Amino acid sequence: MITRRSSFGLLAAAAFLPSRALANVAPPRSEIRDGLAKRFADEGTAGTFVGYKVDDYLIIASDRERSGERRLPASTFKIPNSLIALEIGVVTDPDKDVFPWDGVQREIEAWNKDHTLRSAIAVSAVPVYQEIARRIGEERMQHFVDLFDYGNRDIGGGIDQFWLSGNLRIDPVEQIDFVDRLRRRALPISKRSQELVCDILPVSNAGSSVIRAKSGLTGREQGSLGWMVGWAEKGGAHTVFALNMDCPGPRQVAARMTLTQACLAEIGAI
């Protein structure tokens, strides 16, 4: 039986990634917009943007190639990591459970303090989420990564490193599929865990629109890849999106959200 969740994944693959098309079903409406690709070039880098306009069942992408390439998720994995932590009780309350600072001075000053889950995801505190992953453990982590059908499902490379420098890979279409299931509270876990993670996701405002999104950035040894994944709410209309881009310098790192907003504006999502 093809559910809305599985059909979205299959149809998106059919639309943009013919090598991964797995079913003989008609694809959703889809468009490639060269103007989106130009925005990355204007920023002096390369990247990809994919947006899924839910109400229109329309996928809009900047390209056909990079949108289907799997890459390290970096800190966008804090979304499933948070879900798993809440689902199994590693965290019971995102505002009350405290992860004490380990006393190690790190370059990002906001990490050098105690954190709750809400404050940790807000500043993308890697050490907190590494501790969460260690508490979850490999067996339970693998179970939920499989359950979520998350990317290539490979958590090799260390329980506190696999999403940063290890074997886990995910492409923008798969990111959208996963985030859309969370947005709809349709993941195969409790509604409570999904509600709490949706509530703690960082929020940005663009005019009257709201963007709920998580950023990600790999280390230089992994290519300095930047991510932004989430969804935009404009009135009652929702658009799920994933952007990744090469971030060779501070300019590109800072441009992840501004480029995301520019792409969302171009497709009428905000």
Select which of 30, 62, 67, 75 is catalytic: 75
At residue 223, φ and ψ (nearest 5 deg) are 100, 5
229 CB contacts (<8 Å, ≥6 apart)? 76, 79, 172, 175, 176, 179, 213, 214, 216, 241, 242, 243
**Helices 172-183 and 78-88: crossing angle, nearest 10°?**
40
Distance of alpha carbon 91 from alpha carbon 98, whole angstroms:
9
Q: Which amino acid is at 201?
A: L
The answer to whether 75 is a known catalytic residue is: yes
Residues in contact with 151: Cβ distance below 8 Å, sequence separation at least 6, in sequence order: 70, 73, 168, 169, 170, 171, 174
How many Å apart are CA 51 and CA 61, to the nearest integer? Answer: 6
Output the six-digit token pair for 135: 């508490």
Classify residue 137 as left (phi > 0), alpha (psi -120 to 50) or beta: left
> Residue 7 burial (CB < 10 Å; 0-12/13-18/19+)?
middle
Q: How many other CB atoms are found less than 10 A from the CB of residue 235? A: 7
Q: Which residues are catalytic?
A: 75
